[in-house]
């Protein structure tokens, strides 16, 4: 017979007292495991193990399951997160609890966003909604940028098929159905999704995930010799997360592009999200300069050897 904590792990980290009793565990065994710290009481009648996902513990303690952005994160999708956890509860639910204190009632100032659900969910687990149900909540409650970013992330990582995504949009509110055509599996991050949508709003023509020989992929090509990269925190020289920083790699790629006569501008999420008008003005200026320079190059092609000869002749003239 498996140990009590192993049974809980095999049942997706959470079981009710009545489920444990039905599996042959008595109250005495439950108290022993609680005393040893191998399990703990999440809320009245619910038990879990210390290594359960933290966000899952918070949702079950509140009295529901993770949904929306919070659920999508647990499936490994890189989606925007603004701090609060999203919890789906039944329309008839009561006695919702503070996510940090199971004996305290949920208050309006607690970092929890409740989504009341009046119909049974289609899949998922006891602590999180399915990807389809989570995306439906996102579509109905979030902005265009966040909703499209979440859908694009699901398609990028092949969590859904395109027909399955179509079915989700069919269930969504009518005001968001037009966003279906904005979803792209080419977006490698929510920063790229936001930038792509804002480029479209500004009328900027672009090629996404442009492949450059000797360099690799660049996020956006916006002019004949102009490119834009959207950088997450792993591109910072002080990055201490998983994997190495991409800072040196970015410098090497930028040097290669400069030798080719190309220009690459890098923008962080913080700059994009807080100062987009300035970023847009900089990109538009870069494109304008690129077009002017390209026109000049067509009339006067750059020849390094000829340039060196002219510079040498100019120096001799000075002497």
Could you tell me the residue ranges of all domains in the chain?
4-52, 57-182, 190-299
Please give the pLDDT value at position 170. Answer: 97
Torsion angle, CA of 134/136/141/144, rounded to 10 degrees? 110
For residue 79, give the 3-state DSSP assignment. Answer: coil
Tokens of 160: 């859904």
Task: Please state, in angstroms and rounded to a whole number, the distance separating the CA atoms of residues 84 and 105.
Answer: 17
For residue 275, give the 3-state DSSP assignment. Answer: coil
* Residue 266 phi, psi (nearest 5): -110, 135
Please give the pLDDT value at position 95. Answer: 86
Please give the pLDDT value at position 240. Answer: 43
For residue 207, give the nearest of 222, 189, 193 by alpha carbon. Answer: 222
For residue 47, give the 3-state DSSP assignment. Answer: strand
Average pLDDT per consecutive 10 residues, the chain (319 residues; last block may be shorter):
90 94 94 95 94 95 95 93 88 87 86 85 84 96 96 96 97 96 96 96 96 91 95 58 67 88 92 95 96 80 60 54
CA 62, 68, 70, 73 torsion-angle sign: positive
Please give the pLDDT value at position 294. Answer: 86
Please give the pLDDT value at position 108. Answer: 82
Looking at the domain 190-299, which fold is it? Answer: Endonuclease; Chain A (3.40.960)
Task: Please state, in angstroms and rounded to a whole number, the distance separating the CA atoms of residues 151 and 135.
Answer: 7
Please, what's the largest Cα pairwise distance for the chain?
A: 101
Tokens of 157: 């990582």
* Residue 112 phi, psi (nearest 5): -135, 135
């Amino acid at each position: 017979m498996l140990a009590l904590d192993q049974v809980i792990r095999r049942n997706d980290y959470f079981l009710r007292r009545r489920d444990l009793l039905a599996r042959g565990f008595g109250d005495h065994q439950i108290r022993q495991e609680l005393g040893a710290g191998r399990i703990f009481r999440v809320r009245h009648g619910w038990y879990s193990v210390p290594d359960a996902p933290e966000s899952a513990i918070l949702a079950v303690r509140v009295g529901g399951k993770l949904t929306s952005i919070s659920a999508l994160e647990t499936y490994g999708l890189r989606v925007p997160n603004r701090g609060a956890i999203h919890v789906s509860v039944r329309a008839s639910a009561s006695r919702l609890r503070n996510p940090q204190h199971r004996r305290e009632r949920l208050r309006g100032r607690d970092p929890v966003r409740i989504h009341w659900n009046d119909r049974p969910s289609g899949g998922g687990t006891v602590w999180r909604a399915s990807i389809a149900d989570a995306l439906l909540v996102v579509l109905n409650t979030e902005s265009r940028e966040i909703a499209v970013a979440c859908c694009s992330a699901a398609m990028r990582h092949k969590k859904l098929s395109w027909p399955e995504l179509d079915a989700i949009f069919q269930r969504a509110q009518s005001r968001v159905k037009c966003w279906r055509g904005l979803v792209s599996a080419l977006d490698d991050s929510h920063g790229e999704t936001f930038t792509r949508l804002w480029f479209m709003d500004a009328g900027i023509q672009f090629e996404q995930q442009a492949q450059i020989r000797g360099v690799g992929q660049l996020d956006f090509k916006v002019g004949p010799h102009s490119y834009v990269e959207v950088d997450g925190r792993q591109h910072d020289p002080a990055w201490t997360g998983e994997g190495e920083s991409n800072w040196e790699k970015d410098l090497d790629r930028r040097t290669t592009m400069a030798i080719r006569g190309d220009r690459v501008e890098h923008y962080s999420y913080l700059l994009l999200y807080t100062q987009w008008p300035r970023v847009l003005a900089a990109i538009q200026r870069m494109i304008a300069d690129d077009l002017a320079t390209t026109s000049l190059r067509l009339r006067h092609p750059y020849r390094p050897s000829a340039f060196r000869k002219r510079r040498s002749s100019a120096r001799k003239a000075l002497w």
